[in-house]
Structure 1
């Protein structure tokens, strides 16, 4: 919640600051245009906002993971590390209440640490020492070295002067001291606001993992082999889906019989998520490469069919009548009117289909795959290697964004008349 509130605050502050600076330094005539559609739209991405957005995400990521790439004063409060102390009060049968001090060394998990040496003190309740990892908690058997143990009625009644009983807890300067149902103290050091690396590693940890896997590979294959096989599966599934879906969409847009026959099937399958088809595809085609391509084919098929159908249905009837009046044949109308006017919708559907296929291939590779980005993420998650999981997610997002940019360029090159006719 804190992260989202900070993100929203930065968004609002950046918006007003950038607008104020732009208004004082330039005159934005574009914003005075009447907003239309297509290439004449007055709404364009604000590149400053894009850079600030990416920078904000990186800043919050580093701040809440204690990244060395972020200045220390921007770090969110981190977990307590060092020697924590608290005092407990104990009673025993026939003995006056006595106080003793507990020293707990809180250390970074994965590093070597020694139990601190403390003076036992002079009372029957002896001082204690123990260790606990940061973001962890641990039971502290303070009675194990006291002169009177549990067999002698040893009972803890207070922590730092605050009464405590089973189920209660006391907050200290270093963390929370609770008491279990059996009367054993449990120390949980303050966690702060930063995320534990097992949940969210720092940016430099992810980059270091990327460098290691790029150089040494992962599970017998190079990083580029994993990404390449995923991309190959996506392209095959998309191409087959387009080869079937586009003619199907044209047929549905041009023929009432085809529209009536296939419309229930397409509209039924359209809302079904591709992931729901995985069990059925496994039963039909097995867990090999064929099954994965079939799943991606089904993911692209319905999107491409609907895009082609919408493209044909959106052709202005006046253009068709004009072509007929000039003596055009049906083939010429198809070639010079229907296809050019439907291509923008088809390219839009293709971008959507590629995005869906790229997202689906990760799930498809979760099932018995030996290579692929999804396989990397699945195996890493089993061993809680969050840096590999996050690295895989980032690479998937970058490649997916790159594919979309390439398709935009292809659309501009192949359909230059979009928004102009």
Structure 2
């Protein structure tokens, strides 16, 4: 071997063994039968709480219903205190067709839905702007924060007599009571959402020439949407809770009125049926809010 060939072999040596013939083709890797799937965000390290809980929820509900069947059909509890699921379903059919307290179940449900969702719509139209103003303006925070924080911990039954004295016992008093119960948590959630906006996003918007109004509507409001949706879900739950208190006074229809009237006559089957109907509509609305949140706030938990 000449000197030039030796130097070429030192600096450009091949990874193949020296005894291998020069015309041997490189070895090919066998194709994978099962290719690895792309890793989702959080799978590599395990984000706490990630994954679907549908199966667990179904098993939990089935366990509760099965326990209810077992306890009532084995006569471990008297029907006066806990009627069986069959008795509740039979009463549901009777109230849906013949009615209870001069109104059918559909009429009771319709009146309650109008009261709760009417108050909820008014609260969204007023509490969200107030919460946003409290978050972006110290003057608005100083004006609205003391009264909201004062009456927020109070139970609705505490100021119900005052509302009756001021506004009477008509429909307006019932809607107002539910409205006040929803207003406080929704306004506080909107303020918390505004205060949680990253300052880097605000500075970036200003550096690109955005005005204060554009920053509020296009940066702050969008960043505060997750907290606002959480406040809406909490608020509607408080609204359903307050519905029973609102329908205690001078009411002749409504789900809360039906439950309270049935309790006076020890009709436990009607009471449980009314509770199930209220919980059903509250759950349906909560699921709807979750779906709307996934559509409008797809970046939640990803940025």
Question: Which residue does 1:65 correspond to in 2?
Answer: 72
Question: Which residue does 1:266 correspond to in 2?
Answer: 148
Alignment partner for residue 201 of structure 1, among 80, 83, 103?
A: 83
Question: Which residue does 1:397 correspond to in 2?
Answer: 279
Alignment partner for residue 278 of structure 1, among 157, 160, 169?
A: 160
Structure-2 change in CA distance of 1:340 and 1:64 (3 Å): same
Question: Which residue does 1:420 correspond to in 2?
Answer: 302
- SS of 2:248's partner is coil
Higher share in helix: 2
5+ residue gaps in structure 2? 1-38
Q: Does 1:367 align with 2:265?
A: no
- SS of 1:218's partner is coil
Distance in 2, matches of 1:33 and 1:371, equals 55
Structure-2 change in CA distance of 1:324 and 1:32 (3 Å): closer
Distance in 2, matches of 1:273 and 1:250, equals 25
Shift of 1:220: 2.0
Distance in 2, matches of 1:398 and 1:281, equals 29
Shift of 1:201: 0.5
- SS of 1:197's partner is coil
TM-score w.r.t. the length of structure 2 is 0.83
Alignment partner for residue 178 of structure 2, among 296, 304, 310?
A: 296
How big is each residue's C-alpha offset from its partner over 1:300-345, in whole Å with a ceiling of 9 and x where there is no partner? Answer: 1111110111111111111110111111111211221111111111
Question: Which residue does 1:287 correspond to in 2?
Answer: 169
CA contact 1:33–1:42 (8 Å) conserved in 2: no
Q: Identify the structure with bigger relative contact order (alpha carbons < 8 Å, sequence gap 6+).
A: 2
Alignment partner for residue 210 of structure 1, among 82, 85, 92?
A: 92
Question: Which residue does 1:56 correspond to in 2?
Answer: 63
Q: Does 1:47 align with 2:54?
A: yes
Distance in 1, matches of 2:225 and 2:148, equals 20
Distance in 2, matches of 1:324 and 1:351, equals 33
Question: Which residue does 1:358 correspond to in 2?
Answer: 240
| Count, aligned residues | 264
Structure-2 change in CA distance of 1:416 and 1:48 (3 Å): closer
5+ residue gaps in structure 1? 1-28, 67-74, 79-193
Q: Cα RMSD (Å) of the superposition?
A: 1.8
- SS of 1:64's partner is helix
Question: Which residue does 2:45 correspond to in 1?
Answer: 34
CA contact 1:237–1:296 (8 Å) conserved in 2: yes
Distance in 2, matches of 1:413 and 1:226, equals 32
Structure-2 change in CA distance of 1:414 and 1:374 (3 Å): same
CA contact 2:156–2:245 (8 Å) conserved in 1: no
Distance in 2, matches of 1:393 and 1:45, equals 28
CA contact 1:229–1:372 (8 Å) conserved in 2: yes
Distance in 1, matches of 2:45 and 2:170, equals 54
Structure-2 change in CA distance of 1:42 and 1:60 (3 Å): closer
Alignment partner for residue 307 of structure 1, among 189, 200, 203?
A: 189
Structure-2 change in CA distance of 1:35 and 1:345 (3 Å): farther
Q: Does 1:343 align with 2:225?
A: yes
TM-score w.r.t. the length of structure 1 is 0.60
Shift of 1:32: 5.5
Structure-2 change in CA distance of 1:349 and 1:35 (3 Å): farther
Distance in 2, matches of 1:273 and 1:346, equals 22
Question: Which residue does 1:161 correspond to in 2?
Answer: none
CA contact 2:134–2:191 (8 Å) conserved in 1: yes
Shift of 1:219: 2.0
Question: Which residue does 1:383 correspond to in 2?
Answer: 265
Q: After the TM superposition, which segments of 4 or more aligned residues of structure 1 sit over 6 Å from their partners?
A: none
How big is each residue's C-alpha offset from its partner over 1:82-137, in whole Å with a ceiling of 9 and x where there is no partner? Answer: xxxxxxxxxxxxxxxxxxxxxxxxxxxxxxxxxxxxxxxxxxxxxxxxxxxxxxxx
